[in-house]
Amino acid sequence: MMPKIYLLDVTNRDGVQTAKLGLSKLEKTMINIYLNEMGVFQSEFGFPTTKHESLYLQANLELAEMGALKPIRLGGWLRAVAADVEAAFKLVPNLRHLNVSISTSDQMINGKFQGRKTKDDILNSMVEAVDAARALGAESIGVNAEDASRADLNFLIKFGLAAKEHGADRLRYCDTLGYDNPFTIYETIRLLAENIGMAIETHCHGDLGMANANSIAGAKGAIDGGQDVYINTTVNGIGERAGNADLVAVILAATKSKGFGDKYQLAGSIDLSKAWKIAKFASYAFGVAIPVNQTGVGVNAFAHESGIHADGVLKDPQNYELFSYEELGRGEPEFVETGREISAGEYSGISGFSHIMGKLEVSFSSKEEATEVLELVRYANVESQKPLVGDELLFIAKYPNIARKLLTLIPLE
């Protein structure tokens, strides 16, 4: 069978580690829920060695066990150090999928470790981390070669082969600085796939404006080399510096670009009609506007004004549109309150709250139940510092015990 393209979204890891940006634990949970609805294979849902993430990660794994976050895989990110793997399983015992990361370029090995680590030390640390993860019950392990695009190809092959021998499932090729172009990444990843014989992840950044194109070229390289590929994306391309490959753009490129989808196919079934919803939510949650010219979801992505274009698109949309806005879940009118508005915040009372929930068609069996959910909504507002969206309120009302866990932060324990 022909190898396939899987989507591995890293919004809740690379997205939230972006300078000046972050998400509340509830917002991260909503991103996981939307990714699951969209049919994304895996969400890199956070940092299992970071103490303030523990309850969030545990709560999301509970949602998975309850079937509310299924079939998406939830994977943690950590350094490729055995002690970190042990710490991760101590803090999040139900963790089953993870990626372990370590620098692989001479620049970073010398520049970061300042002579304290050799390439052999890098290999040893990585295989010890993989061994520890396997011993502690990991079901899938990816090994991340940080700065792979500036690393020596033979070392990357050695790194990948050692990982495979110790039971890793995938090699993440990190173009950490966005240094590759479609031609170089295609060639390198094809050689890695052929020589290692293990699935490859592409992890591309936009420093030179090529994150999406590089992801598609890298995916072709992996498949031409006989291996499955896992494209790392983030919602709206939010990520460190100039950002990551964009989830919606990658799906569109893989399925709509000239001839690509005939041979190189996405695994599973992707529900593109959720694109608009997840892009809007991420924009609101991060507090970052979607650029007007954003692929698929920008306000101008289906806007036409000049005479020839407007006339052409009205006669037949395919004259000036490659795909329809309906496919992305666009086109529904948006409700914006222009009169009296009651929103739920950290100081809300029961009357205003009941009014809001009534509009969402939620009724409570007792005053106690309503008061309990309101209390959780107040806490959620303390964390997010902006009105919750309808789906967040519905989530809290539906899963109050999970919400309580998400909203619990106990420092210095």
Residue 151 CA to residue 142 CA, distance in Å, equals 18
Q: How far is the CB of 76 from Zn ion (least distance, A)?
A: 15
The alpha carbon dihedral of 321, 324, 328, 330 has a sign of positive
Give 156 or 328: the residue with its C-beta nearer to Zn ion: 156
Three-state DSSP at 214 gives helix
Q: How far is the CB of 117 from Zn ion (least distance, A)?
A: 21
Look up residue 301 and give its DSSP letter: T
Give 17 or 195: the residue with its C-beta nearer to Zn ion: 17
Side chain identity, residue 64: A
Give 99 or 381: the residue with its C-beta nearer to Zn ion: 99
Q: How far is the CB of 303 from Zn ion (least distance, A)?
A: 32
Chain residues that interact with Zn ion, rule: CB under 5 A: 14
Give 3 or 237: the residue with its C-beta nearer to Zn ion: 237
Give 236 or 384: the residue with its C-beta nearer to Zn ion: 236
Rounded to 5°, the CA angle 310-315-316 comes to: 100
User: Is residue 42 within 8 Å of residue 73, measured between CB atoms?
Assistant: yes
Q: How far is the CB of 14 from Zn ion (least distance, A)?
A: 4
Which uninterrupted H or E stretch holds 386?
none
Give 14 or 169: the residue with its C-beta nearer to Zn ion: 14
Q: How far is the CB of 214 from Zn ion (least distance, A)?
A: 13
Q: How far is the CB of 267 from Zn ion (least distance, A)?
A: 22
Give 200 or 403: the residue with its C-beta nearer to Zn ion: 200
Unique residue bearing structure tokens 């998975």: 64
Give 7 or 407: the residue with its C-beta nearer to Zn ion: 7
Shortest-Cβ-distance residue relative to Zn ion: 14
76: β partners: 46, 98
- HSE-up of residue 104 (Cα within 13 Å, Cβ side): 29
Q: How far is the CB of 223 from Zn ion (least distance, A)?
A: 22
Of 145, 124, 142, nearest to 134 (Cα)? 142
| R_g of the chain, CA atoms, integer Å | 22
Task: Kindly tell me the burial class for residue 209, based on how many C-beta atoms sit within 10 Å of its own C-beta (0-12, 13-18, 19 or more).
Answer: exposed
Instruction: Count how many residues are written for the chain.
Output: 413
Rounded to 5°, the CA angle 247-64-346 comes to: 80
77: β partners: 99
Q: How far is the CB of 203 from Zn ion (least distance, A)?
A: 6
Which uninterrupted H or E stretch holds 413?
none
